[in-house]
Each structure stands twice: as C-alpha cells, then as structure tokens.
Amino acid sequence: MSTRPPDRFAHALDEAVALHPAGPGRWAGRTAPAYWNIVGPFGGWSVALLLQAVLNEPGRHGDPLGMTANLMARVEEGPLDVLTRCVRTNRSTEFWDAEMRQGDAAYAQAMVTLGQRPEATDAFLEARAPDAPAPETLAPQDRSGIGLRWLERYEFRPVAGASSQEGGSTRTVHWMREVDGRALDFTGLAACCDAIVPRIWLHAGGVRPVSTISLNIYFHATAAGLEAAGDDYLLVEAIGRRGHRGMFDHAATIWSRAGELLATTEQIAWYK
Amino acid sequence: MSTRPPDRFAHALDEAVALHPAGPGRWAGRTAPAYWNIVGPFGGWSVALLLQAVLNEPGRHGDPLGMTANLMARVEEGPLDVLTRCVRTNRSTEFWDAEMRQGDAAYAQAMVTLGQRPEATDAFLEARAPDAPAPETLAPQDRSGIGLRWLERYEFRPVAGASSQEGGSTRTVHWMREVDGRALDFTGLAACCDAIVPRIWLHAGGVRPVSTISLNIYFHATAAGLEAAGDDYLLVEAIGRRGHRGMFDHAATIWSRAGELLATTEQIAWYK
C-alpha cells in the first residue's frame, strides 16, 4: 500500500480521492472537478474520500465492515484536510473517525468500522436481488443536458422505476458502473451509495433542492468479493420509506452481476 | 431541561441513563444493573446512553434525525464517562460526537445528527406496517428462565416468526413496550433498536455468541410523534439480509400502534 499518490492516475476516482500524508492522522487533499455536483462536490465523493483516508492509514487492521458519513456543509472548491483517529483496536475489529476540514471548520465526518472476518462460519442470504435483464440489453440513461460533472463518471442503465411517478412508488432498480473501467473496491462502492436518485424527486415529480445529511453503509462483501465484481455493472435496488417535514430517506441494496449482496445503504436527506 | 438527574426516578430507563455534568463535554454515569445482559450491558442501553448525553447538552439545537453507535468493547460494571463534542452547527442541523469511556479507553462511540424540521412540506409514506393483530389478543413472550435482567424491562408479544426456523426466513414481527409505563422518547426508542432477536439465532436454530458491532438509526418521527405513541406498544418488523464469515445484519422498521413509522434501524453484529 502506498501512502503517497502517484503522479498520474489510471482512473478518475483514484485521482479524486488522492490524499498526501500531512502528519500523524492528517491527510491533505483537494476537491475534484470531475466529481462536481451543482453547487459543491457529489456527496459520494465525500463519503469515498473519508473512507480512503482511513484505508490509507499504514497501521490499520482489517477491511471495512461499515461506515456512517455525515455531510455537514457544502464543501468549497479547493484544498482540504482529512483528520483520522483510531478510536479502538480489538483483536478482530478496529474503529476509526475521519473528519474533513477546510480551514478550521468541519465539513464532513465519518465513523468507519474495520474487521478481520473469520474464514469459516455458517452463512445465510435472505435478501433477493431484483429481477433485471442483462445490462447490455438496456439503453444507457441519457444524461446529456444535465450538466453535472459527476454523472459523467458513471454509466446508468435503468431497469425499473421512472423519474416521474407522482403518488406512485419510488422504487427504482438500475445497473451502474464507473465509465473508465475502474475495478470495484471499498472506496468505489462507497461512492456508489450516494449515486441514487433522490426519492423525493420520484415522489413529487422532478428535480428540486435536496442534500444528503447522513449516509450509512454496511459492507457485506469481502475484498475478494469486490475483486470478483471487477469493473462489471452493479445492480442497485432502492426504495423510499418515508419523507415528511423536510427529511426523506432511502434504503438500497447493491449487488454484483453474479448475485452477491455487496452492500446495504440507507440515508436521510433534506429537501424543500 | 434538567442536566442534573433527580434523586429518584419514576422509570428504570431514566435511572439507567442518568448522567451528571462533569465539566464541559463530559458526563459521568455508571452501568445499570437493571439493563445487564449476559456478560455486559444490553447494547440498547449503551446506544440510549450515548444519545442521552447529547440530549443533555444545554446548548444543543434540534431533535435527533439519526445516529450511528459503535459498540466497540464489553463495558465493565462500574463508573463511566461520556464525552460529547459539537462538531458543527448549521441553521437547521447540528452534528455531535459522543464517546463512552472507562478509564482511558473508549468502549462505545456515536455520531448523532440533530435537526429542526420545517413545518410544512409535502410528504410520502411508502413503507407499510406489517399486518398484526392487536397486542392484547396475543400472548406475552415467556421469558422465565432466560435470566437476562434487561429482558425484564420489556414486554414482548410476538406476532410472526419463530425462534427456531432452520433454513427458513428470519423475518420477525413483534409488539413491545417498556414494562413500567415510560412514555416513548428518542432515548427510549433508541434502546428498542437493539431489542431485536439476533437473526443468526433464527437462521441457525438457537442461542449462540453474538455481539452488536455497529447500529444505525434514522428517526422519522418528531418529538410530537413519539409523544403521541405514549407508553403504548410499538410494532417492530425485522429482517436479516445476509450473514457470512462472522458478521450478520438486520434491518427493521418500528411503528406506533396508530401506524406511524417512527424509526428505521440497521445493524451489523458479530457471531461465531
């Protein structure tokens, strides 16, 4: 593992989450034009960056089991620091904090749980992947004219659920992958967890101001499971459960094409 | 709001999460015999205590929108401190950290998101409460002989799902309430989120070593919604999604009897 980013990157996400060591528990980075949203960075970039800072730590033990990221304020274009802290190390689990700062103010924070899983236990899989035709048989989503840079980093192929269903279900299913063939890892998967259409748009028939406030991920796949998924499409099923008085949620499951449950993710977001 | 607990408590949970101010961002408490589990406290007590510390803060703004608690190590019987930190205050949201310490070591940590919701927005409710007969028509779960103190603090009335279903679904539905008539609040609701039978017991046919590692809650109800639920039964539907290599999850929705979605909660837990 290198803690100093290379000068050139094969994939856009690696460049976007590049962090330079800047002292113990401090990583220096900057916002990424390629992952810009309307008035700030794509939330999934912030989530991925917080996770990457922890994964960069040379003394960390284990791979991600879960994380929660709070996106507290709109990040400004420019330099930033991520402060990391190991809160506790156990035999098979480790707990980290990460905080993204610009100047003296905190803009995003996360808790990351790492674990070293035992090799052999019994297992169950009760969640079921949604029915979906092969992505090659579906049309890519037309994103021309939307003008959001981060959307250009992903290819989406909608399977079910429309973008305007007033009063109907907000359930959606889509295939997605990074456009530049980056192989899946925990950082890439974390970013995908915020690349889900805001349910309130689906409920109320269109684009309106929204902002992710808090996003939780539980990683069910091991590093080997992510490696097996490679750069192939991921299948994402998302539902909304409730929205009222300015806050709505979604809950989503993320699957490999081979049918492995890679992660579950929930979030609350603000709307008006 | 009082920041000094009274000398006598009407309800066991209030006594169990009593914290005395011990300096800025520091609250002193102790473990609660009434909420003891097998070899340490009930995880829901730890979650509730971390939340209570933030709610005690006289300068906090808003009510809980969400929290994630990491239960990092087995808490020992005796005194403890909870350290609180306000990470960021915005116009309508505020973000807090809380960390439970015994001596110099951290045993549990949480991030808590507070918010002041706008009065009037459009709304949707897509999650559906599970079918359940009135709790009065169902038999209370027989907990005699189990010997776990915290279980005595709750009354459970199972609706669906058995405690031994090898190979079958782990879905369960139950009514629950605190036995001493404590009115629901955010702290009480947080504790309920860990009072859910471990899915791996349901999968693999019985009690085995398990431990909650990380638990996420999104609070959909406002304080008024919780007040309306009062001390009546809550309806809890829980599913398992995946368990393998020593970690399993659950996802649950918690409803008032009147059919309001009060909270959603997910967790990952260790098993062997």
| Residue B260 contacts A where some CB pair is shorter than 8 Å | no
Return the number of other C-beta atoms located less than 10 Å from residue A199's C-beta.
29
Token pair of B92, please? 């309508």
Average pLDDT value over all residues in chain A: 93
The answer to whether residue B171 sits within a structural domain is yes
pLDDT at A5: 61
- CA distances from residue B5 to B21, B75, B85 in whole angstroms, order as listed: 9, 22, 21
Go through A73-87 and write b for each residue having 16 or more CB atoms within 10 A of its CB, e for each that does not: bebeeeebbbbbebb
Cβ contacts of B59 within 8 Å, gap of 6 or more: B86
Find where tokens 């520091």 sit. B26
Handedness of CA A258, B166, B268, B188 (dihedral sign): positive
pLDDT at A255: 98
Asked if A240 lies within 8 A of B126 by C-beta distance, the reply is yes
Chain B residue closest in CA terms to A93: B72
Find where tokens 């782990």 sit. B170
| Residue A175 contacts B where some CB pair is shorter than 8 Å | no
| Residue A255 contacts B where some CB pair is shorter than 8 Å | no
Which residues on B lie below 8 Å from A111 (Cβ)?
A: 68, 70, 109, 111, 214
Which residues on B lie below 8 Å from A241 (Cβ)?
A: 125-127, 220, 253, 261, 264
Asked if A88 lies within 8 A of B68 by C-beta distance, the reply is no
The answer to whether residue A125 sits within a structural domain is no
Which residues on B lie below 8 Å from A199 (Cβ)?
A: 124
Write the pLDDT tens digit of every residue in B73-125: 999 999 999 999 999 999 999 999 999 999 999 999 999 999 999 988 899 99
> Is residue A189 a contact partner of residue A218, using CB atoms and an 8 Å limit?
no
Q: What's the CATH code of the domain at B266?
A: 2.40.160.210
Report the candidate in B26, B42, B209 with the shortest Cα–Cα distance to residue B101: B26
Q: How far apart are CA A115 and CA A113, in angstroms?
A: 7
| Residue A151 contacts B where some CB pair is shorter than 8 Å | no
The answer to whether residue A71 sits within a structural domain is yes
pLDDT at B147: 82
Asked if A126 lies within 8 A of B200 by C-beta distance, the reply is no
What are B253's strand-pairing partners? B237, B264
Asked if B70 lies within 8 A of A222 by C-beta distance, the reply is no
Q: How far apart are CA B168 and CA A261, in angstroms?
A: 18
The answer to whether residue A92 sits within a structural domain is yes
Return the number of other C-beta atoms located less than 10 Å from residue B146's C-beta.
12
Average pLDDT over residues B130-140: 96
| Residue B161 contacts A where some CB pair is shorter than 8 Å | no
Interface mutation target, options B101, B107, B126, chain A, most CBs of A under 10 Å: B126
| Residue A200 contacts B where some CB pair is shorter than 8 Å | yes
Token pair of B59, please? 């300068």
Q: How far apart are CA B224 and CA A28, in angstroms?
A: 44
pLDDT at B205: 66
pLDDT at A6: 64
Task: Count chain A–chain B contacts defined by CB atoms under 8 A.
Answer: 215
| Residue B25 contacts A where some CB pair is shorter than 8 Å | no
Q: Which domain holds residue A209?
A: 12-116+140-271
Average pLDDT over residues B49-63: 97
Find where tokens 């889509």 sit. A174
Residue numbers of chain A with a pLDDT score lower than 70: 1-7, 162-168, 205
Report the candidate in A211, A229, A231 with the shortest Cα–Cα distance to residue A220: A229
| Residue A250 contacts B where some CB pair is shorter than 8 Å | no
**Nearest chain B Cα distance for residue A117, angstroms:** 6
pLDDT above 50 for B22: yes
Write the pLDDT tens digit of every residue in B58-87: 999 999 999 999 999 999 999 999 999 999
pLDDT at A1: 47
Asked if A87 lies within 8 A of B99 by C-beta distance, the reply is yes
The answer to whether residue B7 sits within a structural domain is no
pLDDT above 50 for B55: yes
Report the candidate in A226, A228, A240, A157 with the shortest Cα–Cα distance to residue A190: A226
Calculate what percentage of chain B has a pLDDT beyond 70. 94
Option in B66, B90, B272 nearest A268 (CB)? B66
The answer to whether residue B88 sits within a structural domain is yes
Interface mutation target, options B104, B169, B214, B256, chain A, most CBs of A under 10 Å: B214
Whether the predicted interface score ipTM is above 0.85? yes
- CA distances from residue B92 to A11, A46, A224, B51, B58 in whole angstroms, order as listed: 37, 21, 42, 19, 17
Write the pLDDT tens digit of every residue in B187-229: 999 999 999 999 998 887 688 899 999 999 999 999 999 999 9
The answer to whether residue B121 sits within a structural domain is no
Number of structural domains in chain A: 1
> Is residue B212 a contact partner of residue B71, using CB atoms and an 8 Å limit?
yes
The answer to whether residue B109 sits within a structural domain is yes
Report the candidate in A171, A168, A191, A170 with the shortest Cα–Cα distance to residue A179: A191
